Amino acid sequence: GCATPSVFCGTYDYGNAYYSFTYGHIKTIILSSYSDTTPTSPQYKWLLHELQSIDRDDTPWVMIVMHTQFYTTFLGHNDELQTIIMKESMENLFMEHKVNFVFSGHDHAYMRTKPMYNGTVIDGGQAPIYWIVGEGGNREGHVRAYLQEEKEDWVEVRDRSVFGFGTLEILDGRNACWKWIMDGVGDDGAEFTDDVCFRNQYLET
């Protein structure tokens, strides 16, 4: 049996576990953290084909959405087996095919990284930016703690005190804006937001 509910022990490789769609200037790819993600898996081969088939002149933005997170500043869901396997298999694809944004949940908190690859902040910013957007609200409440008191140098923003949601606006092929919106007042009267605009990191200015 499974050691914990978070360690994936079965297989679920049906078509509705992972899929993609294009809307305007952005291609969104939904991945399944709980299906096989190794390089010989159907999901990996499907993802590679999806990334290779994108015409970046028509679709200059690419976003990945998945449940578990490659990078976290929070204690609780760090170093989980299925996430480690997925990161080892797929992070190279994200970088090679110039994925702009990667959105995850799993941790009941909020985090945005600097442009990252292989645990390192990339000078010049030509790497994916990773989000954890898990503060929507849950009976379990927020994560218990950070992994360390001071935020890591690769973390741009983090919070585990309030609930809320985010909106991503793709303005055109070069510009996008993200806004994290607080839902009421957080723990002990805490307030937090993250309102930022981006230039497409893979296009020349």
**Active site members:** 77
Neighbours of 165 (CB within 10 A): 14
Report d(CA 56, CA 52) in Å as an integer: 10
Neighbouring C-alpha atoms within 13 Å toward the C-beta of 123: 0
> Which residues sit opposite 129 in a β-bridge?
101
Task: Name the token pair of 75.
Answer: 């204690």
Please name which of 159, 115, 168 lies closest in space to residue 134, comparing C-alpha atoms: 159
Six-digit token pair at 80?
A: 């989980």
What value, to the nearest 5°, has the Cα angle with vertex 199 and ends 104 and 183? 45
Q: Which two tokens stand for residue 133?
A: 């957007």
Q: Are strands 145-146 and 101-104 parallel, antiparallel or unpaired?
A: unpaired
Establish how many alpha carbons lie within 13 A of residue 111's alpha carbon, considering only the half-sphere containing its beta carbon.
Answer: 28
Burial class (CB in 10 A: 0-12, 13-18, 19+), 55: exposed
